[in-house]
Amino acid sequence: MGTGVAVVMNERLARYSFGDGHPFGPDRLAAFTREFEARGLDRRVQLLEPRTASDEELRAFHSAPYLEFVRERSASGSGLLDAGDTPAFRGVYEAAAGVVGASLSAMEAIMRADCRRAFVPIAGLHHAARDRAAGFCVFNDCGVVIELLKRAGLKRIAYVDIDAHHGDGVFYAFEDDAAVVFADLHEDGRYLYPGTGASGETGRGAATGMKLNVPLPPGSDDEVFEQVWPRVMAHLGRFDPEFIILQCGADSLEGDPITHLRLSPRAHGHAARALRELADQLGHGRVLALGGGGYNRTNLAQAWNAVVENLL
């Protein structure tokens, strides 16, 4: 043991959803799991039960007043958590803390060397800011994982994001933080939410030059991905990260109902394999892949399972 891949999930993760008919519906987990089992991947990975995140862990990234706000909306089950994309529902606090807990369980398994790499399907909620929800994201599990890795003493943590949307919640929270090496391929913000992530946004202060944003024109396909991916690898290669997070949102695939990129699952598989190889070259092997967006159920099943296969 200790050399393989863990997948962290259980039925409770599906509770993080905004209802039947919403793009982020409860059926996304089942769509992944059906394909995962059809490919026999459930017999080739360690399946780990997620835990839930404590309030103290959530406070490592989120502000106390924001946590209190979510707790109130979660009890009433009504209203919105942001300007319009992210409705409250009864139990949303616990469901969102469950997502963070799943990502923490995966991170801890890697850090204990119970596995080298891990994947969490319902995770990678990269739009949530320290003090607010945004774009279907209530708690930012990526941000909590990064903060706790820093507390554990890591000095260089890489965050790579191939979701169609810019990972603004992670980017702005760590824009001036030299512990976070950031690389994000996304649909150009002039055409897609959240509108940020221009190529000139390269970090501030001590982290100037440590953040790579690559906006892609609508319609970009695997050929474009292959042209720009080496920039991500060159960027990471300058910093020798001790831990690599991949937010592998499947909404960058052709046929997603809310975006306009045209990647195939091969891009996601390629990214996972390249990051795995880099992590192995660096000697630690640590890669944590988080599902992220993806609203075409066939696409998310194909892209995420390609990631798992290429982490094996």
* Nearest position to Zn ion, beta carbon: 293
Residue type, 229: W
Contacts to Zn ion from residues 149-178, by CB under 5 A: 163-165
In the complex, least distance from residue 249 CB atom to Zn ion, rounded to whole angstroms: 4
Contacts to Zn ion from residues 226-255, by CB under 5 A: 249, 251
Nearer to Zn ion, 164 or 214 (CB): 164
**Mask: binding to Zn ion, 190-229, rule CB under 5 A, as x and -?**
----------------------------------------
For the record, the structure tokens of 18 come out as: 């905004």
For the record, the structure tokens of 135 come out as: 């774009």
In the complex, least distance from residue 178 CB atom to Zn ion, rounded to whole angstroms: 27
Residue closest to 165 by CA, chosen among 200, 133, 191, 130: 191
Task: Give yes or no: 268 in active site.
Answer: no
Cβ distance 145 to 104 under 8 Å? Answer: yes
- Cα separation, 127 vs 271, whole angstroms: 21
Among 121, 124, 269, 293, binds Zn ion (CB under 5 A): 293
Q: What DSSP string runs through 80-123? A: BSSSSS-B--TTHHHHHHHHHHHHHHHHHHHHTTS-SEEEESS-
Residue closest to 81 by CA, chosen among 133, 123, 43: 133
**Which listed residue (127, 165, 260, 268) is catalytic?**
127
Nearer to Zn ion, 164 or 183 (CB): 164
- Cα separation, 121 vs 153, whole angstroms: 27
Nearer to Zn ion, 269 or 294 (CB): 294
- By CB under 5 A, tell whether 85 contacts Zn ion: no
Nearer to Zn ion, 7 or 164 (CB): 164
Residue closest to 181 by CA, chosen among 247, 238, 111, 110: 238
- Cα separation, 249 vs 282, whole angstroms: 25
Which residues of the chain form contacts with Zn ion (CB under 5 A)? 163-165, 249, 251, 293
**Which residues form the catalytic set?**
127
